[in-house]
Amino acid sequence: MAADNIDTFIPPQRILMGPGPSNIHPRVLKAMSEPVIGYMDPIFVQMMAELKELIRYVYQTDNMLSYPVSGPGSVGMENCFVNLVQPGDKVVVCRNGVFGGRMIENVLRCGATPVILEGVWGEPIDLNALEDLLKKTPEARVVAFVHGETSTGVVSDAKTIAEIAHRYDCLTIVDAVTSLAGVPVLAKEWDLDAVYSAGQKCLSCTPGLAPSTFNQRVIDFVTGRKDKIQSWFMDMTMILEYWGKTVRTYHHTAPINALYALHEALLMLKEEGLENVWARHRSNYEALRDGLEAMGLEFLVKEEYRLPQISTVKVPEGVSEPQLRAELLKMSSLEIGAGLGPLAGKVWRFGLMGQTSRPDYVLTCLASMEKILPTLGYPVKPGVAVAAAHKRYAAQHAAAAEKALA
Ligand SMILES: *Cc1c(COP(=O)(O)O)cnc(C)c1O
């Protein structure tokens, strides 16, 4: 392709009902288009102070070291490992999906030994098995786990995992990329040590930012390390100079406009109120669930372990998995997710993350599926899915009205 044929890139409008990115609110997009200013500008420094406060709010913590790592969720993950894992360490990694597997890769690349707690895809991390493993591995220093496994839609009991880990003198590395803002992530109450997330899931911000929080145990460990942290960019002792102090020294050029966006996305979340945000995710999940089940579709995960922000549904026998996704994109400009790893071709993943968690998107998705599935050899009675979702919303409204009267 000759470069002189290239025109301005204009992306289509999509409904992003996959595993992230989620849709971004116009307020956040507008914030991103504001003028760039210097990263040492006193106005920018003030914005960063607010941003740290908002990150503390979303994590429900007062950790001094709460900041957005410049980079996607994967960098947020790596940041925790390079700082907390020394060559020769033993690290317990819980794996019940794709992202636990990536944690193992990180441990290996830090020159440490992963001790793997193998879990089942579609089930939460087994607490008794974790305790047994820690008993047998007294040298373990860190327990790493994924709170909300996006590859399966399972939430694990982060509070109890952290309790067990601390009982065996281990620090915790917690992946809250998908869980943060969709379900409670109570960093302080649950005593989580190093926690990272990403902008583009339930925060509905631009990809490429990893809001993270670290407690005093992490700071003490990192500042007490005798060896040099292998990554210059992610060396937390230097980041402490940049994000942690009031007098800042240059470390790297912050992704300035992306940070405006995060500030606005988190401010919107604060305005709505974290508890209302969790309730909204639950409400739309319930309507989607009822609609999908009315069409006879089955969930991969037991109800009690499901993340409301990502629903994993089995592809019925004989139906083409990629075809439904292609047709949804064509008919309704709506994207859903495919299965990963051993679940490839076997499941669809429906994300209702952040701003995407809205009734109109739920209803559009269900109405489109009612039309498409019969053309793929799976009969659906017209209207059943949408009716089931409406019925759920009506029941929720009635329950809320009753509560308001009481
Ligand atoms: C999306 C995701 C990541 C990776 O985030 P990126 O921004 O894509 O690098 C890590 N962990 C979980 C659980 C995720 O869902």
Residues 333 and 232 in one domain: no
Into how many domains does the chain fold?
A: 2
* CATH number assigned to the domain comprising residue 66: 3.40.640.10
How many residues are listed for the chain in this entry? 406
The torsion region of residue 74 among left (phi > 0), alpha (psi -120 to 50) and beta comes to: alpha
Residue 157 vs residues 145, 161, 192, 363: alpha-carbon distances, Å:
10, 6, 12, 31
Q: Which residues pair with 357 in a beta bridge?
A: none
Q: How far is the CA of 338 from the centre of ligand 1 (A)?
A: 15
Atom of ligand 1 minimally distant from the CA of 74: 9
Cα angle for residues 351, 207, 61 (degrees, 5° grid): 85
Cα angle for residues 296, 300, 305 (degrees, 5° grid): 120
Residues 52 and 183 in one domain: yes
pLDDT at 363: 98
Predicted TM-score of the model (pTM): 0.97
pLDDT at 243: 65
Please tell me if the CB atom of residue 122 comes closer than 6 angstroms to any atom of ligand 1.
no
Residues 267 and 280 in one domain: no
**Domain annotation covers residue 11:** no
pLDDT at 1: 65
Q: How far is the CA of 198 from the centre of ligand 1 (A)?
A: 7
pLDDT at 259: 98
| Residue whose token pair is 């020769």 | 88
**In testing the pocket of ligand 1, which one of 98, 99, 179 has its CB within 8 Å of the most ligand atoms?**
99
Strand 194-196 versus strand 65-70 pairing type: unpaired
Q: Which residues pair with 148 in a beta bridge?
A: 155
**Domain annotation covers residue 52:** yes
Please tell me if the CB atom of residue 353 comes closer than 6 angstroms to any atom of ligand 1.
no
Residue 364 vs residues 332, 360, 385: alpha-carbon distances, Å:
8, 6, 11
Cα angle for residues 238, 264, 198 (degrees, 5° grid): 55
Residues 122 and 245 in one domain: yes
For residue 233, give its domain range: 26-271
Taking the alpha carbons of 147, 151, 153, 154 in that order, is the dihedral positive or negative?
A: negative
Q: Is residue 384 packed enough to be buried (19+ CB in 10 Å), middle (13-18) or exposed (0-12)?
A: middle
Q: How far is the CA of 177 from the centre of ligand 1 (A)?
A: 6
pLDDT at 240: 81
What are the tokens at 379? 């009969």
Residues 65 and 91 in one domain: yes
Q: Rounded CA gap, 390 and 157, in Å?
A: 31
DSSP string, 353-367: -GGG--HHHHHHHHH
* CATH number assigned to the domain comprising residue 360: 3.90.1150.10
* Final residue before a domain boundary, out of 271, 295, 323: 271
Strand 15-17 versus strand 334-338 pairing type: parallel
Please tell me if the CB atom of residue 22 comes closer than 6 angstroms to any atom of ligand 1.
no
**Domain annotation covers residue 148:** yes
Task: Locate all alpha helices (DSSP H) within 96-241, ordered by sequence.
Answer: 98-109, 127-136, 158-167, 216-224, 236-239
Say which DSSP state 208 is in: S
**Domain annotation covers residue 2:** no
Please tell me if the CB atom of residue 101 comes closer than 6 angstroms to any atom of ligand 1.
no
Letter string b/e over residues 122-135, b meaning 16 or more CB atoms within 10 A of that residue's CB = bbbbbeeebbebbe
Please tell me if the CB atom of residue 175 comes closer than 6 angstroms to any atom of ligand 1.
yes
* Final residue before a domain boundary, out of 243, 271, 299: 271
Say which DSSP state 124 is in: -
Residues 226 and 291 in one domain: no
Residues 50 and 173 in one domain: yes
* Final residue before a domain boundary, out of 271, 286, 317: 271
pLDDT at 87: 97
Strand 90-95 versus strand 15-17 pairing type: unpaired
Per-residue pLDDT of the chain (406 residues; tens, 9 = 90+): 689 999 999 999 999 999 999 999 999 999 999 999 999 899 999 999 999 999 999 999 999 999 999 999 999 999 999 999 999 999 999 999 999 999 999 999 999 999 999 999 999 999 999 999 999 999 999 999 999 999 999 999 999 999 999 999 999 999 999 999 999 999 999 999 999 999 999 999 999 999 999 999 999 999 999 999 999 999 999 888 766 666 567 888 999 999 999 999 999 999 999 999 999 999 999 999 999 999 999 999 999 999 999 999 999 999 999 999 999 999 999 999 999 999 999 999 999 999 999 999 999 999 999 999 999 999 999 999 999 999 999 999 999 999 999 8
| Strand runs labelled E in 119-257 | 142-146, 148-149, 154-155, 171-175, 194-196, 209-214
Residues 266 and 384 in one domain: no
Strand 148-149 versus strand 154-155 pairing type: antiparallel
pLDDT at 170: 98
Q: How far is the CA of 68 from the centre of ligand 1 (A)?
A: 15
Q: Which residues pair with 212 in a beta bridge?
A: 67, 196
Residues 180 and 292 in one domain: no
The protein residue whose alpha carbon is closest to atom 14 in ligand 1 is 177
Residues 224 and 329 in one domain: no
Please tell me if the CB atom of residue 198 comes closer than 6 angstroms to any atom of ligand 1.
yes
Task: Locate all alpha helices (DSSP H) within 295-338, ordered by sequence.
Answer: 321-332
Q: How far is CA 24 from the centre of its chain?
A: 15
pLDDT at 250: 81
| Residue whose token pair is 């604060």 | 270
Sheet containing 347-351: order of strands: 15-17, 334-338, 347-351, 310-314
Residues 32 and 120 in one domain: yes
**Domain annotation covers residue 13:** no
Provide the 10 A C-beta neighbour count for residue 9.
5
**Domain annotation covers residue 67:** yes
Residues 318 and 259 in one domain: no
**Domain annotation covers residue 129:** yes
pLDDT at 392: 98
**Domain annotation covers residue 259:** yes
Taking only Cα atoms into account, the Rg of the chain, rounded to an integer number of angstroms, comes to 22
As separate numbers, helices (DSSP H) first and strands (DSSP E) second, the chain gives: 13, 13
